[in-house]
Amino acid sequence: MGRYIIRRVLQMIPLFIGISIVIFIVIQAAPGGPETTLLATGRFVSPEILEAYRTRLGLDQPIYVQYFRWLTTALSGDLGYSYKSAQPVLQVIAERLPATIELMLAAYLLAATIALPLGVYSAIHKYSPLDYAGTGLSFLGIAMPVFWFGLILQLVFAVQLGWLPSSGRETVGNTGFIDQLKHLIMPATVLSLLYIAGWSRYMRSSFLGVINSDYVRTARAKGLHERRVMLVHGLKNAAIPVVTIIALDVAGLFSGAVITETIFAWPGIGRLFIQAMYDRDYPLLMGIIMMGSIMVVVFNLFADIINAWLDPRVSYD
Amino acid sequence: MTLEIDTLNALTSQTLTDIEITMVEGLIMSNDQNTYIPVLAKEVPTLENGGIVQKDDGTIEMTWNLQEGVKWHDGEPFTSADVCFTLDFIQSEAGQAVYNQTDYLGITECQMPDDKTVVFVWDKPAGNYATLFDTILPKHMLEGQDILTYDAYNRSPLGTGPFKFAEWKPGEYVRVVKNPDYWRGADFPKLDEIVFSFIPDPNTRLNGLKAGEFDIGQILPNQVKEVQDLAGYKVVSVPSNRWVIFETNLFNERAKTLFSDPNVRKALFHAIDRQAIVDGLMEGTVQLANSGISPTSPYHNPDVPAYEYDPAKAAQMLDEAGWAVGADGIREKDGEKLSFTIMNRSSRPERTAVAQAIQAMLKEVGVEVTFEDLESAAWLEKWLSKEWEAIIGGWIIPADPSLTGLYACEGSNNFTGFCNPELDAAMEASDATFDFKDRKPLMDKVQTILAEEGRELPIYYNSLPYVMRENFQGFKGSGTNLGSFWNSYEWDLGN
């Protein structure tokens, strides 16, 4: 197992270099550059000023020169400066990361608490009214546009009832836990809906597969209590694929949720990313995408390791 | 606020500078009358008040007398050295980050006869001198620093203004607090603090206002109807200096074959029902425009010819220009169809809607319009390349309207290739004049030529609707590039 992990980690190095080359080329291939955004306000800006801006950022150099400059500084732990704010990329990302992790964790916890029991219940009581309700909820969750659901929640709970703040992460000057929690409720609910929809379906079908298997029948035949059969013999085996799915989704924890963060003015990575894209802020984009890629690769490895731990039949050598 | 700002350095920011203006001041500021008023200067120098002296060798001496008793937020006195330091930075290589750097390059010398007097020597007259120095940098803080990356200033600026910087939470808000030693006296500012929240989605902004979470906020023109009767709030629409135009290109080869005949352009303009766009599409929240200079500006010319809606006349003009209706209902001439593409920009949905209205109106007179929809940066790049046929464009101009950059044959922002020597002469004469009395007739002429030659079809002046609490006092919104926060020291939330 130890050798396996070391091998996987070593394999990541060429993978990351390959990813960085592709991303570097792709983001610069998009039409328009950071200098064009100077014109976005509609003020007169002369083409000489635009050209000087490109030169100052080093964008007049060939792309491979730019890439190697980025790579050498990146290897020393310096991801460069954001064009827009002139601040170190790592600092900009670090400022936004806590908000994103807070939101995503809340959404995951909410989703797991609802989706897993719902999936199990639906499987045990197949075709019961609650199973149909869960199925309906899943389809609704997948089909409903996130921005629409978010705005509806705002209208109901902020505008009509006045229970919750419509957007933001905190009330200015108030750092209390209750205040933060109130701000978190709506965005976390919106975000969790998609996960609830997906995870509960996985849980349901996985559990259905398990309760018809031979070892469950054997457990019943031994006269074990039905609850023990379901929760010990059934749940443990049914959880394997679901845990894998959840572990893979955790990679998204660090890349944020673009639409939810925009709708609720949540100061996270997703909003930073979409704005960096509009601004053609190449160093910041590189930083965010590389971090996202690293997380996906790392959590893939975690998922494999967890799988091996849950399922002794899986072995790596 | 919509988007988060890039930096709080008002000179190098690529966004408009509403927030900075509450903290940082300059020699001048533009007000709600589209006029420059002195701030850190006692008065704006003119020929009449002796502040501007034209020398025999053609150079100009311009004297600015500075306000007494002005202190930076850290207690240091504000002096003429700060003004010359600011000019030095703008004229340096790093000053290329200042969007209108070129306007400052005519100043050849900055003299400091004493602490409270600055004299600029210009190599030639610059009629729009009053648009400059809306921001002054603190020399004692920034001397010897790389200003472009100096976070101690760019993230927490030091100014002389009514409010002091307090905090900036990335992605959330900027908070400024009352400056108790403000030079206008103990009565100002009235408010204790202002918080600028960044809320990117316009619907969320509207919901926040409806929920009573904000004292003031800017909304979109098409949201006005929804908040008109909101209890406890009022809506104030500020007429903007941003005007929206339909413009055709003369650089692009194909567009040139269609539009180089001014009568074709004018015919198209007559086929467009602008009143319907203003009343229907924009729900009457904006004002019809006939010239680029806003009616709130003293330079506005109310007598420019207007392109009244007259599809019969449009059809007749196109017939006379040789564009006959073809078998498919689309006009053609010498095998070329009168069909062109309007390039739309995803970040300006209201302009895309205008383009769609124009498409339907032009179809009535046998002209076909297709669309190319591009994301903002891609749109801007293609626009700069001048390889497009038509757009719905828009510019924002300072209170002092020098239009030379936009309309001169060699103008730096002339992206359409329109060129008229008589127009150039009038604009150059206006730029070389300091006196309003002499400039006004020249700018009147500029507006008339633009209309007569069919350079573009002005459609409407944009409006900036603000929703604010009923007891919000002192708001005098300004549609210039410097925005509505120019008098934030007078704002109050009283009973």
pLDDT at A316 > cutoff 70: no
The strand pair at B390-396 and B339-345 is best described as: parallel
A40: amino acid identity, one letter = A
Question: Which of the residues B13, B213, B374 would you substitute to probe the A interface, choosing the one with the greatest number of A C-beta atoms within 10 Å?
Answer: B213
Burial class (CB in 10 A: 0-12, 13-18, 19+), A66: middle
In chain B, residues with a C-beta closer than 8 Å to the C-beta of A42 are: 242, 394-396
Q: Do A280 and B396 touch (CB under 8 A)?
A: no
pLDDT at B120 > cutoff 90: yes
Cα–chain-centroid distance for residue A17? 22
Domain with CATH 1.10.3720.10 in chain A: 90-310
pLDDT at B416 > cutoff 60: yes
Q: Are A156 and A147 in contact (CB under 8 A)?
A: no
B94, HSE (Cβ side, Cα atoms, 13 Å): 14
Q: Percentage of chain B with pLDDT > 70?
A: 99
Nearest CA in chain A to B242: A42
What is the overall mean pLDDT for chain A? 86
**Tens-digit pLDDT profile for residues B362-374:** 999 999 999 999 9
Q: Do A168 and B171 touch (CB under 8 A)?
A: no
Q: What is the spatial distance between Cα B217 and Cα A171, in angstroms, rounded to a whole number?
A: 17
Nearest Cβ partner for B204 among A30, A87, A167:
A167
Alpha-carbon gap: B284 to the closest alpha carbon of chain A (Å): 23
* Reported confidence tier of residue B3, pLDDT bands at 50, 70, 90: low
pLDDT at A222 > cutoff 90: no
Q: Do B380 and A32 touch (CB under 8 A)?
A: yes
In chain A, residues with a C-beta closer than 8 Å to the C-beta of B382 are: 31
Nearest CA in chain A to B151: A87
pLDDT at B424: 92
Q: Do A158 and B102 touch (CB under 8 A)?
A: no
Residue B26's nearest CA partner among B180, B182, B189, B159 is B159
* Reported confidence tier of residue B2, pLDDT bands at 50, 70, 90: low
Nearest Cβ partner for A278 among B203, B376, B406:
B376
**Tens-digit pLDDT profile for residues B376-411:** 888 888 988 889 999 999 888 888 878 888 899 988
Q: Are A265 and A103 in contact (CB under 8 A)?
A: no
In chain A, residues with a C-beta closer than 8 Å to the C-beta of B170 are: 92, 95-96, 267
Question: Which of the residues A28, A35, A37, A39 would you substitute to probe the B interface, choosing the one with the greatest number of B C-beta atoms within 10 Å?
Answer: A39
Q: What's the whole-number mean pLDDT along residues B18-29?
A: 93
Strands (DSSP E) found in B293-447: 324-325, 331-333, 336-337, 339-345, 368-374, 390-396
Q: Do A99 and B171 touch (CB under 8 A)?
A: yes
Q: What is the spatial distance between Cα A104 and Cα A194, in angstroms, rounded to a whole number?
A: 12
**Tens-digit pLDDT profile for residues A5-46:** 888 888 888 999 999 999 999 998 888 888 887 777 777 777
In chain B, residues with a C-beta closer than 8 Å to the C-beta of A168 are: 172-173, 197, 199
pLDDT at A317 > cutoff 70: no
Nearest Cβ partner for A166 among B7, B198, B208:
B208
* Reported confidence tier of residue B495, pLDDT bands at 50, 70, 90: low
pLDDT at A92: 92
Q: What's the whole-number mean pLDDT along residues B112-132?
A: 90
Placement of tokens 């007598």 in the chain: B303
Nearest Cβ partner for A44 among B210, B380, B406:
B406
Alpha-carbon gap: A160 to the closest alpha carbon of chain B (Å): 8
Higher model confidence: residue B70 or residue B5?
A: B70
Helix axes A2-29, A63-75, angle to 10 degrees: 140
pLDDT at B1 > cutoff 60: no
Question: Which of the residues A37, A43, A93, A259 would you substitute to probe the B interface, choosing the one with the greatest number of B C-beta atoms within 10 Å?
Answer: A43
pLDDT at B381: 86
- For residue B446, give Cα distances in angstroms to B300, B422, B424, B427, B432: 11, 9, 9, 7, 14
pLDDT at B277: 93
The lowest-confidence range among B14-23, B332-341, B459-468 is B14-23
Alpha-carbon gap: B335 to the closest alpha carbon of chain A (Å): 33
In chain B, residues with a C-beta closer than 8 Å to the C-beta of A172 are: 173, 175, 195, 197
In chain B, residues with a C-beta closer than 8 Å to the C-beta of A40 are: 14, 347, 376, 380
Q: What is the spatial distance between Cα B372 and Cα B352, in angstroms, rounded to a whole number?
A: 10
pLDDT at A229 > cutoff 80: no
**Tens-digit pLDDT profile for residues B209-232:** 999 999 999 998 889 988 988 999
Nearest Cβ partner for A172 among B173, B382, B384:
B173
Q: What's the whole-number mean pLDDT along residues A68-90?
A: 88
Biggest distance spanned by C-alpha atoms of chain A? 85
Q: Is B176 helix (H, G, I), strand (E, B) or coil?
A: strand
The pTM of the full predicted model, rounded to 2 decimals, is 0.86
In chain A, residues with a C-beta closer than 8 Å to the C-beta of B479 are: none
Q: Do B15 and A32 touch (CB under 8 A)?
A: no
Question: Which of the residues B99, B205, B294 would you substitute to probe the A interface, choosing the one with the greatest number of A C-beta atoms within 10 Å?
Answer: B99
The lowest-confidence range among A160-164, A256-260, A267-271 is A256-260
What is the residue-wise DSSP string for A226-293? Answer: HHHIIIIIIHHHHHHHHHHHHHHHHGGGGT--HHHHHHTT--SHHHHHHHHHHHT-HHHHHHHHHHHH
**Cis peptide preceding A98, ω within 30 of 0:** no
Q: Is B218 helix (H, G, I), strand (E, B) or coil?
A: strand
Q: Percentage of chain B with pLDDT > 90?
A: 62
Q: Do B204 and A40 touch (CB under 8 A)?
A: no
In chain A, residues with a C-beta closer than 8 Å to the C-beta of B195 are: 172
Nearest Cβ partner for B412 among A32, A46, A81:
A46
Nearest Cβ partner for A158 among B151, B201, B211:
B211
Q: Do B16 and A87 touch (CB under 8 A)?
A: no
Q: What's the whole-number mean pLDDT along residues B92-101?
A: 86
Alpha-carbon gap: A69 to the closest alpha carbon of chain B (Å): 20
**Annotation: CATH topology of A90-310:** MetI-like fold (1.10.3720)
Tokens of B90: 């703008």
Nearest CA in chain A to B401: A44
In chain A, residues with a C-beta closer than 8 Å to the C-beta of B481 are: 41, 43
Alpha-carbon gap: A199 to the closest alpha carbon of chain B (Å): 29
Placement of tokens 């894998």 in the chain: A244
Nearest CA in chain A to B175: A172
